[in-house]
Amino acid sequence: MSAGARACKLAELLGVGLTTLQRWRRQFTGDGDGLDRRKGSHRLVSHRLTEEERQRILLTCNQPEFAAMPPGQIVPILADRGLYIGSERSFYRVLHAHGQAHRRGRARPPQEPRPVPRLEARGPNEVWSWDITYLPTSVRGVWLYLYLVIDVWSRKVVAWDVAEREDAAIAADLVSRACMRERISKGRKQPLVLHADNGNAMRAATLESRLKELGILRSFSRPRVSNDNPYSESLFRTAKYRPDYPSRPFTSAEEACLWVASFLDWYNHRHRHSGIKFVTPQQRHSGQAVEICRHRTLVYKQARQRHPRRWSRSIRCWQQPEVVWINPPPPEIESVSVTFAMAA
């Protein structure tokens, strides 16, 4: 008799499937006796391949003619010659038993998928995200490049630049200026993490060496997964869908810098961001947002006391989010208390 264990872990320990374990539990708690009634597989198979046939399959696969072929091609070729030794599955089973079920030929083996980046920020200057976007110019085919570095926790833009090319050296200088402005030192207890996508400037050795000098850790999105860098992508959309975004291309880099400076002044100091309970990024970055939201809660409570019938439930929650994630972990499966009986 056992109690208090997680079902999935217990099933793994017993070597059975989760559904099998759940069925045993239902049998035990219901009218059943909870016995293991699995029939299992037959041990004596009359049509099993003989040892001679298994060796013949192994010798056939190791012939120079078939050394670079999978069983899916070997079996049809043998059939065209009037030979049938075994099925494709039998070939694979024999190869696997002898440790030869590997990729054949010169094709590159499949790569392990890159792990999902999971970054957690509980305060300002813990996780930064940065990216580069295009700004159109009056010359067809010529672009300006807008560099933006955003603090994930507060959504504040901590550094920006407009350049005529995409260069890792520009990005390295940009991050250095941001660290000086935010007083980011190398000997911090918790190193700053800089998250980006897989662009050439992001993975360049110039930027990598500069980040090592500053004591900053790097993080990258998965290939072709834009959702791994959502805060920079959302910031670019906010910028380019502003009502005052120029309807015509920029005529020079100076004109683009003037507009970007105006936009960022509005974004950091006057824009009330929906993701941080409608306070400005600067207010959250500096710590003023807590008192602002506390005052809002008090105003709502007083309004509810004056007209209680206008409020069907509780007041709106103005509490600031304490944790901000890039790819939050999936919710943990609730532990299930399992009680069952097994009889041999």
Helix (H, G, I), strand (E, B) or coil at 90: helix
Strand partners, 162: 146
pLDDT, tens digit (0-9, with 9 covering 90-100), for 119-167: 999 999 999 999 999 999 999 999 999 999 999 999 999 999 999 999 9
Residues 155 and 259 in one domain: yes
Q: Please give the share of the chain, as a percent, with pLDDT higher than 70.
A: 89
Tokens for 43? Answer: 């041990």
Strand partners, 121: 324
Helix (H, G, I), strand (E, B) or coil at 222: coil
Number of domains, the chain: 3
The last residue of a domain, from among 228, 243, 276: 276
The pLDDT value given to residue 41: 61
The pLDDT value given to residue 243: 94
The last residue of a domain, from among 276, 301, 335: 276
Query: What is the domain extent for residue 78?
Result: 51-97
Residue 165 lies in a domain: yes
The pLDDT value given to residue 32: 55
Residues 71 and 219 in one domain: no
Global pTM reads 0.70
Q: Please give the share of the chain, as a percent, with pLDDT higher than 90.
A: 69
Residues 91 and 125 in one domain: no
**Region 196-211 average pLDDT:** 94
Give the C-alpha distances (Å, rounded to integers) separating 104 from 61, 68, 71, 93, 271.
11, 5, 10, 16, 59
The pLDDT value given to residue 37: 62
Residues 21 and 88 in one domain: no
* Mean per-residue pLDDT over the chain, rounded: 88
Phi/psi zone of residue 100: left (φ > 0), alpha (ψ -120 to 50 degrees), beta?
alpha
The pLDDT value given to residue 208: 96
Residue 65 lies in a domain: yes
pLDDT, tens digit (0-9, with 9 covering 90-100), for 26-77: 776 665 555 666 666 666 777 888 999 999 999 999 999 998 888 999 999 9
Residues 84 and 160 in one domain: no
The pLDDT value given to residue 114: 85
The model's confidence at residue 187, banded by pLDDT at 50, 70 and 90, is: confident
The C-alpha angle with vertex 137 and arms to 135 and 138, in degrees rounded to 5, equals: 160
Of 222-236, 246-260, 321-335, where does mean pLDDT reach its minimum? 321-335
